[in-house]
Amino acid sequence: MFNLESDFLALDFDGVIADSIGECLVIGHNAYVKYTQAGQQICRIEELNEWHKDECRRLRNFIRSGEDYVYINLAIDKKARIQNQQEYDSFVNRHLNLKDTFYDLFYRERESFSSTKEDLWIELNPLYKGIRQFLLQYQAKESLFLVTTKKIKYALKILAGNRIDLIKKNCFCASGRDTKLKIIKNLLDKNNISPDNFYYIDDQVDTLIEVKESGVHCLLAKWGYTTGQQILRAEMDNIPAIQLNDFLIKFSAKPGY
């Protein structure tokens, strides 16, 4: 059982704190339009046709970083057959020469959109029901960490738009070099924390399988972008899946918000 007074909690951002898929699909689409120089830029996810949105949401389960939102548009354009993580990774590897280009296009578009249309950009990143109250009322802020592949400036900007402040030094951006596993191991070592007193929640089962190596408690957020197949895979690796309301109760938020 989680103990607020003695335990530490680390959260992913997209798919755990914020339902950011609308923003990511808009930005990814606009970045791909700039790459192809074809099609129309959009401001809202409703401007995409339903089939395209559904396919983007399905492929979203396999992404790891911002540029992947451009890759999934490329995959749809090329009618690539992608049914699992291995097939997605193989597709990206076949087009690895575009990685830097897609990275640059995605983050340039996000920076422009979030600066020129800030209110709309915040609106495209709604927090999950109850999460705002959870973060506002969380009593052990010094023991609360953010560990995400999202650039911290954007995560904090979304939180600020919801009038939420987290301790900035407790917020970490994971990358290919500084993985979530490495960040969490460093947190354990630096703060002399026993893995048994540390909980990490993410919506990406592959990440949790990696982080589990550190010995911390790993839980899969069922309210994020997880699929039934991913939940079953988590169970096979002894990683519990948790519903949002259970999370709010067990980790000291008040239910019913």
Contacts of 19 (CB under 8 A, 6+ apart): 125, 126, 127, 128
180 contacts: CB under 8 Å, gap ≥ 6: 147, 149, 174, 200, 202, 207, 210, 211
CATH topology of domain 8-19+127-250: Rossmann fold (3.40.50)
Give the start-to-end residue ranges of the domains of the chain: 8-19+127-250, 21-123
Say if residue 257's pLDDT is above 60.
no
Average pLDDT over residues 173-194: 95
Res 253 pLDDT > 80? no
More confident residue, 104 or 229: 104
Q: Residues 105-123: what's their mean pLDDT?
A: 96
Q: Could you report the per-residue pLDDT of 187-200, keeping only the tens digit for each?
A: 999 999 999 999 99
Comparing 231 with 257, which gets the higher pLDDT?
Answer: 231
Q: For position 227, what pLDDT does the model report?
A: 83
At 179, is the pLDDT very low, low, confident or very high (cuts 50, 70, 90)? very high
Instruction: List, for residues 141-158, the tens digit of each pLDDT value.
Output: 999 999 999 999 999 999
Instruction: Tell me what the mean pLDDT of segment 165-170 comes to.
Output: 96
Whether the pLDDT of residue 255 is over 80: the answer is: no
pLDDT above 50 (res 32): yes
Residues 238, 241, 242, 244: is their CA dihedral positive or negative?
positive
Residues 6+ apart with CB under 8 A from 65: 103, 149, 175
pLDDT tens per residue, range 40-95: 999 999 999 999 999 998 998 888 888 999 999 999 999 999 998 899 999 999 99
Q: Are 223 and 237 in contact, with CB atoms under 8 Å apart?
A: no
What mean pLDDT, rounded, does the chain reach? Answer: 94
Does the pLDDT of residue 207 top 80, yes or no? yes
pLDDT at residue number 177: 87
